Amino acid sequence: MSTPPRILLTGFTPFGNEDVNPSWEAVRVLDGTPIGGHVVVARLLPTAFAESQRELASLMDELEPAILLGVGQAGGRSRLSIERVAINVQDARIPDNAGAQPIDVAVVADGPAAYFSTLPIKAMLKALLAAGLPAEVSNTAGTFVCNHVAYLMLHLAASRRDVRAGFIHIPYLPEQAARFPNAPSMNRDDVVRALSIALEVAATRRGDDHFGAGTLD
């Protein structure tokens, strides 16, 4: 029996002053889950520029995934943010977990200025909204380690035949948001359900839907 193609689903270690990162709390639940004819392989990435790059390159060689989906924390966002684009810049407002703080440095020297997601982001959005889950298309993944990993995933996928990649930001967990007045949050079970839906669409759809989901600011 042939091995089903793999989905590499990644989350991050806690960073800043946090003791938990909701991305890994949700991602790890899906490890080994069959979705859309694929099997999910969940892996934890360090919230550090250089270390995450080395780990991601190693995982690509080890797993040879057909789909890559990075998941990261975006405290302050109230919706699941399906990222449209990753840009070729590191501009860290705070040091990463290894103490590095690159400013105005390329993710990949001489790489393209940006990569667009190669997953069906509008179809994913439509499915999430239909399931009653708050979601949006986002046009910025920031300039910290999340964008760094999103760009690297797309860069690595671009050099391999028939490999696709994308990134989703998720809100704080309720226990994190409780420390900040009026901070939005989403419980882990809803995030897990959302990721399952998004991955099902990504695994079974090539073409995307076409409808307005942009912003005015």
Alpha helices (H) along 121-210: 121-130, 145-158, 174-177, 188-204
* Radius of gyration (C-alpha) of the chain in whole angstroms: 16
Structure-token pair, residue 69 = 């989906």
Q: Which phi and psi (to 5°) does residue 138 adopt?
A: -110, 145
Q: Which amino acid is at 104?
A: D
In the set 38, 146, 148, 155, the catalytic residue is: 146
174: left (phi over 0), alpha (psi -120 to 50) or beta: alpha
In the set 38, 148, 155, 169, the catalytic residue is: 169
In the set 38, 83, 148, 155, the catalytic residue is: 83
Residues 11 and 9: their CA atoms lie apart, in Å, by 7
Based on the residue annotation, tell me whether 146 is a catalytic residue of this protein.
yes
Residues recognised as catalytic: 83, 146, 169
